[in-house]
Amino acid sequence: MLSSDPGSREALQSIRTLVHRELLAVDEAIRRGFHSTVPLVDQVAEHIIGGGGKRLRPLLVVLAGRACSSTEPACIHAAAFIEFIHTATLLHDDVVDMSVRRRGRDTANEIYGNQASVLVGDFVYSRAFQLMAASRSQRVIEIMADATNLIAEGEVLQLINARDPDTTENRYLEVIHRKTAQLFQAGAEVAAVLSGANTVLQRALSDYGRHLGIAYQLIDDVLDYQSDPALRGKNLGDDLAEGKPTLPLIYALRHSDPEQASKIREIIKSGSREGTESVMRTIESSGGLEYTARLAQTEADQALAALAVLPDTPYREALAALVRFAVARKH
């Protein structure tokens, strides 16, 4: 029975319970995959594994596979390599952003240094491709090769947008489509391919993953300005301090008076925390958070619509519940 509160921890846990056995196998595959004979790699990997996280992407892969009636262990390995790609991007992101905290803990680069984080990130990427090759599916390798290339382009686009107050909504959406949604999309599609699903189901799950990923990131950007830092493991306004013009900020720039807009532009350019509280009030009063949340709900609705062609099973319902969790969560 799924939780009646879609944004709660209990809601996510009830989704996980449905595929508990498969997720244990994924965790084991992740631990095996992270293992290296090089001690520093093992140390950084253990720090990452110990950091926890929601593990939504591997959960998505497992659920998508089961929704296609698959019991193939190939989906377990796919869930692991999807999480490896995600982990590698986080290691590199934290170096680029000079982050010191993630999920309430010191980042790997803060503990082990930038060089170790970048190199271990490379190790994790390459290990992901080893697992992909083991699937012996040309289509899976094509999907993941395209996805990782688009993710890298998204990272570069985000770097270009950094400290640029003239970033448009379209430019921002292009970044999150590539940087975040692409891996959700690839994970769902790969699960369908490995399950032997027909092209209609493959396309439906690809669309589902893309819309879910965009909705998830939009809500993440809302939470950057209104979540509980103790629960989220990040300070409020971190994106602003890093000079990242996310959608709530872009909207506020367009819908605030010239004096407020000027202050926002200066803070984006400087990447300073000075004046952050004032900017956050402007974002809230301008309706930027509500606008972003509405757009997230639109994406969520499209993700739910994409599921219509799947067989009516508890796994399809869990995929729908995952969408509801993504837009209702508080951290």
Task: Please answer whether residues 140 and 132 qualify as being in contact, where contact means their C-beta atoms are separated by less than 8 angstroms.
Answer: yes
Q: DSSP 3-state assignment of 195?
A: coil
Closest CA to 64 of 214, 190, 198: 190
Its CATH architecture, for the domain 9-328, is Orthogonal Bundle (1.10)
pLDDT digits (tens, 9 = 90+) for 48-65: 877 767 899 999 999 999
Mean pLDDT for all residues in the chain:
91
Q: For residue 323, what pLDDT band results from cuts at 50, 70 and 90?
A: very high
- Averaged over 115-129, what is the pLDDT? 94
Structure tokens at 301: 């609705």
* Structure confidence at residue 3 (pLDDT): 65
Torsion of CA 10, 183, 214, 104, to 10 degrees: 50
pLDDT digits (tens, 9 = 90+) for 165-185: 999 999 999 999 999 999 999
Q: Is the pLDDT of residue 229 over 70?
A: no
- Averaged over 196-208, what is the pLDDT? 97
Residues near 119 by beta carbon (within 8 Å), at least 6 away in sequence: none
* Structure confidence at residue 228 (pLDDT): 61
Give residue limits of the domains in the chain: 9-328
Q: For residue 71, what pLDDT band results from cuts at 50, 70 and 90?
A: confident
> What percent of the chain has pLDDT above 90?
71
Site of tokens 């990130």: 121
Cα Rg for the chain, rounded, in angstroms? Answer: 20
* Structure confidence at residue 2 (pLDDT): 66
Q: Is the pLDDT of residue 9 over 90?
A: no
Cα 15–Cα 19–Cα 20 angle in degrees, nearest 5: 100
Structure tokens at 312: 């009516």
* Structure confidence at residue 310 (pLDDT): 97
Q: Is the pLDDT of residue 264 over 90?
A: no
* Structure confidence at residue 231 (pLDDT): 53
Please indicate, yes or no, whether the overall pTM of this predicted structure exceeds 0.85. Answer: yes
Q: For residue 322, what pLDDT band results from cuts at 50, 70 and 90?
A: very high
Q: Is the pLDDT of residue 236 over 60?
A: yes
